[in-house]
Structure 1
Amino acid sequence: MNRALKILLPLAVLGVGAGVWLTAPSKVDAARFEALTGNADAGQTIFTAAGCASCHHASGSDNKLLLSGGQAFASAFGTFYAPNISPSDAGIGGWSVVDLANAVKQGVGKAGEHLYPAFPYTAYTKMQDQQVADLHAYMQTLPPSDTASQPHDVGFPFNIRRSLGGWKLLFFSDDYVMTDLPEGVTERGRDLVETLGHCAECHTPRNAIGGLDTSRWMAGAPNPSGRGEIPGLTPTQLDWSATDVAYYLESGFTPDYDSVGGHMAEVVENFSKLTPEDREAVAAYVKALPASD
């Protein structure tokens, strides 16, 4: 028994050490951002396309740029509350460009903690460094709020932040899903759909522990709130033309003269502020999706 313990104990220590190392938060290389100067005008477009205000604006406020947070997002793992991301001490007022880059590209908070993927950094990770710098410059121009962020209501074992390091090993990648762009699909369209617009976060089904099932990319998914389904965007589910898609993103009206509802109304509000070329680029990507089961 003593001999077995002498063998197993060091192995256990090594195993724990390897687990701690593998699940440690990974940060961006700060040197990449030293020479960058953010452009607030460009950052406003990124902010709009990324839908930052849709989740983080103050509940019940008409000011969509007051990013005091508080909106609740129910899921199978608990309820997540959008934090304050206004430029104040209660928000991200003390954050540098590198701090913001760690959050949006690595899912790591200013204190070095793993962030829950209810925040779609799994999509934002593909943002270019200059885009992050521009976004940071714009967000510093917004009104501050001293409202404290509400803690998430997440039970065991999902409240163990370190476990997210293991989740990231399995599901966190900065690779594009549509790697080879079909004719007519631009990098801008892919950037808007897969990165900034993070469309797959709602329109792609997930596995039992919340990882996106990229084999069923954009094929529709259960609503995380437990109410209803989020429709698929592949040709199997959506027979709209590219013109229909672009017009819907501008006006909120479907080809059947129905109107947008739910959280998608926020998405349309954001995309209606982009250029017609941007909406056409998104439509081209959607129409290039492969059929699904």
Structure 2
Amino acid sequence: MRGLLRSVILLAALTGGGYAGLRAWPIGEDASRITLDGDARRGAYLARAAGCVACHTDTAAQGPAMAGGAPLDTPFGSFVPPNITPDFTHGIGGWSKYDLARALREGISPEGQPYYPAFPFEFYAGFSDQDIADLWAALATVPPVAETRGENDMRFPFSMRSGLKLWRATALLEAESAPVLGRSDDWNRGRELVEGAAHCGACHTGRGLLGGLDADSFGGNDDLPGGSAAPSIRAADLKEDGWTASALAYALETGITPSGDVFGGSMAEVVEQGTSFLDEADRRAIATYLLDAAPVPSDPDALAQLR
């Protein structure tokens, strides 16, 4: 019912006199400029962890690295991950570190337009200035590619990008990846990756009528782009299916499950282009967190200091 109400509000706003107001409605924050020097090696590692390579490379078509990914078919239309090579015409060669920071942390284009939530920017909100500088340095090393994989093909009214401003106000949930007192460094590193860069919840959490993530995380999603599904990765379900920390860490490296089967579909790509490149400690941290993802009670005042 809540999702239906939000849909009605969105449609009314887009078809009524509110559309002009939506176009003029400013979004985002005027963040400070980033002057830090980046570490391209660290940025490349973060790009793998964050799925940049997997999403923005059409591996099935043997496309050039980061030059645009395969279309994602959804009930709202088809999304095409764009070219993020340093090409000035088709890629992000004309961007600045500030533009990259706004895109990743706020989901806003250099022109001030909101990005569709197929781009999981809500999980990148916690990226530090150093993270952005490192990613910027890494992206600068990618060969520029003067091509595009195509344009988004959205259904009305979702083709009206200004309507995303209402979506942001009603359905956007920012991930929480800050450390939790009373937990180990390994567990907190896993939390940072799972709830942040690795954005596991983007696929393994269901979405509402307007595409917003459910507040109840990791319960699985039967309606992924292309009609595929992602299972629950809640701790109890993982344990029931025979997963241990060592088995899960190994699967994130090799794609091989405890039963001897292998991951298929988009998860196979996540492993091949992402988690297999992570170091053993980070894969183990992800497994540790997922198999024990309920935070321990902490002192609220002390916890607030960590956020």
Q: How high is the TM-score relative to the length of structure 1? A: 0.85
Q: Aligned partner of 2:150: which letter?
A: Q
Cα deviation for residue 172 of structure 1 reads 3.0
Distance 1:77 1:245 in 2: 33
Cα deviation for residue 122 of structure 1 reads 1.2
Identify the match of residue 31 of structure 2 among 29, 33, 50.
Answer: 29
Mapped contact 1:59–1:69 kept (Cα < 8 A): no
Q: Is the alpha carbon distance of 1:22 and 1:278 closer, same or farther for their aligned partners in structure 2, counting shifts above 3 Å? A: farther
Mapped contact 1:126–1:174 kept (Cα < 8 A): no
Distance 2:264 2:248 in 1: 15
Displaced runs of 4 or more, over 6 A: none
Within the alignment, does 1:264 sit opposite 2:264 as a pair?
no
Match of 2:136 in 1: 136
Listed one character per residue, the Cα deviations across residues 55-105 of structure 1 (whole Å, up to 9, x for unaligned) are 111454546x62211411011111101111111011001111001011111
Cα deviation for residue 213 of structure 1 reads 0.8
Q: Aligned partner of 1:24: which letter?
A: P
Mapped contact 2:70–2:149 kept (Cα < 8 A): no
Match of 1:273 in 2: 277
Mapped contact 1:242–1:280 kept (Cα < 8 A): yes
Cα deviation for residue 227 of structure 1 reads 2.7
**Structure 2 counterparts to residues 153-192 of structure 1, below 5 A:** 153-176=153-176, 180=180, 183-184=183-184, 186-192=187-193
Match of 1:104 in 2: 104
Match of 1:255 in 2: 258
Listed one character per residue, the Cα deviations across residues 138-188 of structure 1 (whole Å, up to 9, x for unaligned) are 000001100035221101110111111111122335450787466345332
Cα deviation for residue 27 of structure 1 reads 4.0
Match of 1:245 in 2: 248
Structure 2 unaligned regions, length at least 5: 1-16, 295-307
SS of 2:237's partner is coil
Match of 1:92 in 2: 92
Within the alignment, does 1:195 sit opposite 2:210 as a pair?
no
Give the number of the structure whose alpha-carbon radius of gyration is greater.
Answer: 1
Mapped contact 1:182–1:288 kept (Cα < 8 A): no
Match of 1:121 in 2: 121
Q: Is the alpha carbon distance of 1:59 and 1:241 closer, same or farther for their aligned partners in structure 2, counting shifts above 3 Å? A: closer
Distance 1:256 1:193 in 2: 24
Cα deviation for residue 237 of structure 1 reads 2.2
SS of 1:67's partner is coil
Distance 2:54 2:124 in 1: 15
Mapped contact 1:23–1:166 kept (Cα < 8 A): no
Q: Is the alpha carbon distance of 1:175 and 1:253 closer, same or farther for their aligned partners in structure 2, counting shifts above 3 Å? A: closer
The farther-off stretch of 278-287 and 140-149 is: 140-149
Distance 1:288 1:257 in 2: 24
Mapped contact 1:22–1:165 kept (Cα < 8 A): no
Q: Aligned partner of 1:166: which letter?
A: L
Q: Is the alpha carbon distance of 1:251 and 1:175 closer, same or farther for their aligned partners in structure 2, counting shifts above 3 Å? A: closer
Q: How high is the TM-score relative to the length of structure 2? A: 0.81
Match of 1:288 in 2: 292
Match of 1:72 in 2: 71
Distance 1:141 1:243 in 2: 34
